[in-house]
Amino acid sequence: MMAVSKKEITQDMFQPAVIDKSLQEQVSGPSIGFWSDGFRRLRKNKAAMVSAFIILLIVIMALVGPHMSKYGIDDQDLKRSNLPPRISALANIHWLPFDGKNEQGVDVYKERGIKQDLWFGADKLGRDLWTRVWKGTQISLFIAVVAAAADLIIGVAYGGISAYFGGQVDNIMQRILEVLNGIPNLVIIILLIIVMQPGIPAIILAIAMTGWIGMARIIRGEVLKLKNLEFVLAARTLGASDSRIISKHMVPNTMSMIIIHTMFSVPGAIFFEAFLSFIGLGLQPPKASLGVLINEGYKMLSLHPYQALFPGVIISLLLICFNIFGDGLRDAFDPKLRQ
Amino acid sequence: MGRYIVQRIIYMIVTMFVIVALTFFSMKLLPGTPYKNQEKLSPEMIELLNHKYGLDKPLPVQFVKYVGDLLKGDLGVSFQFDGRPVTEIIGERLPVSADLGFEAMVIGLVFGLLLGIIAGLRRNTVWDYGSMIVAVIGVSVPSFVLAQLMQYYFAVKHHWLPVAYWEGPAYHILPDIALGFGPVATIARYMRTAMVDTLNQDYIEMARAKGLSRPAVTFKHAVRNSLIPIVTIVGPMAVNLMTGVLVIENIFAIPGIGDQFVTSVYTNDYPMIMGTTIMYSVAFIVVVFIVDLLYGVIDPRIRLAGGES
């Protein structure tokens, strides 16, 4: 019988499975959290990744670039005055501006007997523009990052306190905000800079003072929404203190909004610094920032256009990449766009 | 509605008061005296002059007088133009700036809407990507960089268009485009999003099902409904244009209020700076107010009282 019924399936071949209650909760496959999901989405966005790479490249050049040339940002030499850019390796590519010839097609390097290549040329005082442009980028980035960080701290604190405590506190803080918001940014910035000496602290303070309002509003909206949710109520019922609820529940849940908004306030600050320097309220020469360099280059535009070209291209690249990367971050992390 | 308007007007007055106070006290913080050749004046003479102009009175009294003058439309006299009233100079230059701003706005609306509509209708095609690349560039590249590039290429190098000044239609082209490119980009982006949203609505499907022609669906239903969110960005954009005017006028030597402002900054002409600042603030506040009122008229869904967040 055994031999014949090899294929036959009988009852006693089965045995009941052990029901393990502890395994009931187990989910197959690793769970994907909010952050890793967002990053996965971000990595798929090619434009955003390319932008991030370019931003990184510019940041590295801003740090390393000034040390690559042997000239400092204020080393003047009239022999090099208005020297066009030259990179010997690229000199034969005619559509690139690196052939060392001026607008009339004269090879200025040969004429003045200069052996050394100045990659971005020199300005009217013979200062090396390579050093100045990268140093300027460094200063512009520094101003933008510090200003954005200040925006973030003030905005999050103001918006968070206003929404979290609510009631009369919220009412008064919102009325103040409404009046402040009515004052044009430009007015505050100009008054501040006229009263303070134009310089890095004045610019940072001016940008930070006007930039935090947007952040405060977003955070207030988020916190208002969050504080009525069950998990916050549960935490409060369990006796969690205000500071614990804020740091453990409110901040992590608003983090994505904070990061997205900061990503857009950095290019805003870069633009404002350049704008202020361009109208003469920013850094004063010989200090360099992208705005100062664009302004100096603009004065020589008709004769030596390359002097405005390099800072102009770098600021445009930076702003375009920050905007694309910011868009990518928003698409990846903004819960409203999730389906 | 009536209550809302009254409330907003009160806010506007408070805001204006804060701005005037800020400008006034910042002026007082500045070093030196407001007189020419101050190093030649003896302390006694400065005292006499101060008495003559009421500058020896306590600050609050001076402030009340300043506000009083302001309400009468007196913004003081310019240092730079030998005592010409600030209001006169502003009145002379404002129309030019308004002209420039208006033309840039028109360019922004026409080309921005066009690009946005095309991108929205032809989603994920070359048209869409092309429009959006233009839009990202327009949003990012500062107007003063773009203006320089165009000025060099079209005017200095090829002599196709005048380099600067404000004399005939040809002189308007470069500044208008330089200033209008940002609005084109912003409007195109918003319009594309709005078009995509609208085209997914049920009523569009309904209109198609009824057998309406493509143009009828596109223009009567999709475009018209997509225009609502555009109104909300026109206000902030007008304000941005006011900032852009400053540098564009400077670059193209256009005799408007922005060019005057930059010159005043360079020459420390404080009454002129303050006068322009106050005028700019008034314009800003009024524009924002009008736009807020317009929202309610155009889209009844927007609650004017502005509830939570």
**What residues in A contact B11, CB-CB < 8 Å?**
178-179, 182
What mean pLDDT value characterizes chain B? 80
**What residues in B contact A51, CB-CB < 8 Å?**
none
Q: What is the pLDDT of residue A339?
A: 36
Least confident of A113-122, A126-135, B164-173, B180-189: A113-122
Least confident of A25-39, B156-170, B254-268: A25-39
DSSP state of A98: -
Asked if the model's pLDDT at residue B271 lies above 70, the reply is yes
Contact predicate A164/A113, CB 8 Å = no
Using the beta-carbon criterion (under 8 Å), do B141 and A319 form an inter-chain contact?
yes
Q: What is the pLDDT of residue B111?
A: 92
Q: How far apart are CA B300 and CA B309, in angstroms?
A: 18
Q: How far apart are CA A188 and CA A69, in angstroms?
A: 39
Nearest to B19 among A187, A220, A279 (CB): A187
Q: Is the CB of residue B186 less than 8 Å away from at least one CB of chain A?
A: no
Nearest to A194 among B26, B142, B148 (CB): B26
CATH fold of B92-255+288-308: MetI-like fold (1.10.3720)
Contact predicate B165/B254, CB 8 Å = yes
What's the one-letter identity of residue A202?
A
Using the beta-carbon criterion (under 8 Å), do A279 and B284 form an inter-chain contact?
no
Q: How far apart are CA A22 and CA A332, in angstroms?
A: 35
What mean pLDDT value characterizes chain A? 79
Contact predicate A290/A136, CB 8 Å = yes
Tally Cβ neighbours within 10 Å of residue A216: 25
At B34, the pLDDT band (50, 70, 90 cuts) reads low
CA A88 to chain centroid, in Å, comes to 34
Cα distance from B135 to chain A (closest Cα, Å)?
10
Backbone region of residue B82 per phi and psi (left: phi > 0; alpha: psi in -120 to 50; beta: other values): left
Question: Least CA distance to A104: which residue of chain B?
Answer: B157
Using the beta-carbon criterion (under 8 Å), do B265 and A320 form an inter-chain contact?
no
Question: Least CA distance to A186: which residue of chain B?
Answer: B243
- pLDDT tens sequence across A139-167: 889 988 998 898 888 988 888 888 888 78
Contact predicate A275/A98, CB 8 Å = no
Cα distance from B11 to chain A (closest Cα, Å)?
7
For the segment B109-134, the average pLDDT, to the nearest whole number, is: 88
- pLDDT tens sequence across B212-228: 888 888 888 888 888 87
Q: Is the CB of residue A193 less than 8 Å away from at least one CB of chain B?
A: no
Q: How many residues does chain B have?
A: 309
Using the beta-carbon criterion (under 8 Å), do B265 and A186 form an inter-chain contact?
no
**What residues in B contact A289, CB-CB < 8 Å?**
none
Question: Least CA distance to B266: which residue of chain A?
Answer: A280
Q: What is the pLDDT of residue B110?
A: 92
Q: What are the tokens at B291?
A: 């736009």
Helix (H) or strand (E) holding B229, with range, is helix B224-251
At B37, the pLDDT band (50, 70, 90 cuts) reads low
What are the DSSP calls for A242-259, one per residue?
A: HHHHIIIIIHHHHHHHHH
Q: How far apart are CA A41 and CA A329, in angstroms?
A: 9
- From the list A262, A260, A287, the residue with the least C-alpha distance to A273 is A287
Contact predicate B241/B249, CB 8 Å = no
Using the beta-carbon criterion (under 8 Å), do A191 and B250 form an inter-chain contact?
no
**What residues in B contact A54, CB-CB < 8 Å?**
none
User: Which of 282-301 (B) contact A at CB < 8 A?
Assistant: 284-285, 288
Of B61-75, B200-214, B252-266, B282-296, highest mean pLDDT: B200-214
- From the list A112, A280, A319, the residue with the least C-alpha distance to B250 is A280
Nearest to B281 among A183, A192, A279 (CB): A183
> Which residue shows structure tokens 């004052």?
A183
At B31, the pLDDT band (50, 70, 90 cuts) reads low
Among residues of chain B, what percentage have pLDDT more than 90?
2
Q: Is the CB of residue A183 less than 8 Å away from at least one CB of chain B?
A: yes
Q: What is the pLDDT of residue B304?
A: 47
Q: What is the pLDDT of residue B296?
A: 67
- pLDDT tens sequence across A210-250: 888 888 888 888 888 888 888 888 888 888 888 888 778 88
Helix (H) or strand (E) holding B36, with range, is none
Nearest to B14 among A179, A191, A298 (CB): A179
Question: Least CA distance to A179: which residue of chain B?
Answer: B15
B270 Cβ neighbours under 8 A, 6+ residues apart: A194, B27, B30, B34, B79
Asked if the model's pLDDT at residue A301 lies above 80, the reply is no
A143 Cβ neighbours under 8 A, 6+ residues apart: A200, A203, A204, A207, A269, A270, A273, A289
Using the beta-carbon criterion (under 8 Å), do A274 and B265 form an inter-chain contact?
no
What are the DSSP calls for B153-212, one per residue?
A: IIIIIT-SS-SS---SHHHHHHHHHHHHHHHHHHHHHHHHHHHHHHHTSHHHHHHHHTT-
Contact predicate A80/A117, CB 8 Å = no
Integer angstrom CA distances of residue B277 from A201, A279, B16, B231: 22, 15, 11, 26
Question: Least CA distance to A318: which residue of chain B?
Answer: B140
Alpha helices in chain A (DSSP H): 34-44, 46-68, 108-112, 129-165, 167-182, 185-195, 200-226, 230-237, 242-245, 251-278, 290-299, 306-333
Asked if the model's pLDDT at residue B305 lies above 50, the reply is no
A93 Cβ neighbours under 8 A, 6+ residues apart: none
Q: What is the pLDDT of residue B35?
A: 60
Integer angstrom CA distances of residue B68 from A135, B30, B73, B74, B273: 49, 22, 9, 9, 19
Asked if the model's pLDDT at residue B250 lies above 80, the reply is yes
Q: Is the CB of residue B232 less than 8 Å away from at least one CB of chain A?
A: no
ipTM: 0.78
**Residue ranges per domain, chain B?**
92-255+288-308
Backbone region of residue A8 per phi and psi (left: phi > 0; alpha: psi in -120 to 50; beta: other values): beta
Q: Is the CB of residue B181 less than 8 Å away from at least one CB of chain A?
A: no
- pLDDT tens sequence across B148-162: 888 888 877 787 777
- pLDDT tens sequence across B39-81: 667 777 777 777 766 677 777 888 888 788 888 877 777 766 7
**What residues in B contact A320, CB-CB < 8 Å?**
136-137, 140-141
B102 Cβ neighbours under 8 A, 6+ residues apart: none
Asked if the model's pLDDT at residue B257 lies above 80, the reply is yes
For the segment A80-100, the average pLDDT, to the nearest whole number, is: 68
Q: How far apart are CA A226 and CA A242, in angstroms?
A: 14
Torsion angle of the four alpha carbons B201, B204, B210, B214, in this order, in degrees rounded to the nearest 10: -160
Contact predicate B205/B247, CB 8 Å = no
Question: Mutate which of A183, A228, A264 to test chain B, going by most B C-beta atoms within 10 A?
Answer: A183
Q: How far apart are CA B242 and CA B258, in angstroms?
A: 8
